[in-house]
Amino acid sequence: MADKIKIVNAYDGGQNAEFVTQINPASVKIGKKISYEKIQAMGREEHLARYKHHEPSSLSFDIYMDDTGVVPDNKMSIQERIDQMEEAIYKKKKDLGEPGYVILVWGTIIFHGRAESIDIDYTLFAPDGTPLRVKISLSFVGYFKESSFKGSVSQTANVVTFQSGDTLAASCAKIYGDASYCVEVAAQNGMDSIRNTPPGTTVQFPPVSRN
C-alpha cells in the first residue's frame, strides 16, 4: 500500500490528521494559469497582453471507496474513511479558525495547498442504507514542489532505528529543522502512515537538496 496517495494536514508540523486513499485515481488533472492585463495601444484595435502574475496551480482527481468486500483493505467503514478525510483536508482547526494547509504526495507529485472542493457521490447501499460504494471528487489549490531529496533514498542517508516514543515528525524536525518533511520521508521509505511508527523500524532520511 506504499503507492497510495497520502494527504497530511501540515498545520502543526504533521501531528494533525492524515488520509490515505483506499483506491487510487485512474487519472489526475493539473491546472496552471497565467494572468495577463489586456492593454489597447492608442489608435489601434489590437490588444496587448501584459503579464500580471501566475495564478495558484490546481490539482483534481476522483477517488473511490468500497465496502463490498471486493477491496481487501477493508479495516474501516466508508463513513469512517470520509470522516478521516474531512478531518485532514476540510474541517476548521479550532485555534486557526480555518482549514489547515495540506501536503499531498503520490509518486513524483508533491503538492502543497488547500482543499477547494469535495463532491461525494454515493453509488451503492446495503439494504439498511449503509453506504457500500462512493465516488469522491477532490480539488486542491496551491503549488507543486519538486522532491526535496537528492538522489535515491539509499545515498548518504541518515539511518535511524526508531525507539519507543519516537515520531517521524519529531525526527524530521531534528534532522532537517522542519517537521513537514515527514510526508516525503514516509513516501521515500514506502511507509503507509507518518504516525504510529513501531519501535525497531529502520527509517532512512535522505539528504535535502538546497537548490
Residue-wise pLDDT for 71-109, tens only, equals 876 678 999 999 999 999 999 887 778 888 898 988 888
Q: How far is 61 from 133, CA to CA, in rounded Å? A: 17
Same-domain check for residues 112 and 158:
no
- As given in the structure block, the three cell numbers for residue 101 are 494547509
The total number of structural domains that make up the chain: 2
Quick one: pLDDT at residue 15?
52
Residue 154: DSSP 8-state: T
Among candidate residues 77, 84, 65, 55, the one with its CA nearest the CA of residue 25:
65
Q: Are 188 and 153 in contact (CB under 8 A)?
A: yes
Provide the CATH number for the domain around residue 172.
3.10.350
Lookup result for grid cell 453509488: 123
Same-domain check for residues 141 and 155:
no
pTM of the predicted model as reported, rounded to 2 decimal places: 0.70
Same-domain check for residues 64 and 87:
yes
Q: Could you say which of 121, 145, 169 is where a domain stops?
A: 145
Give me the domain span that covers residue 169: 149-211
Answer yes or no: is pLDDT of 149 > 90: no
Quick one: pLDDT at residue 86?
94
Same-domain check for residues 111 and 164:
no
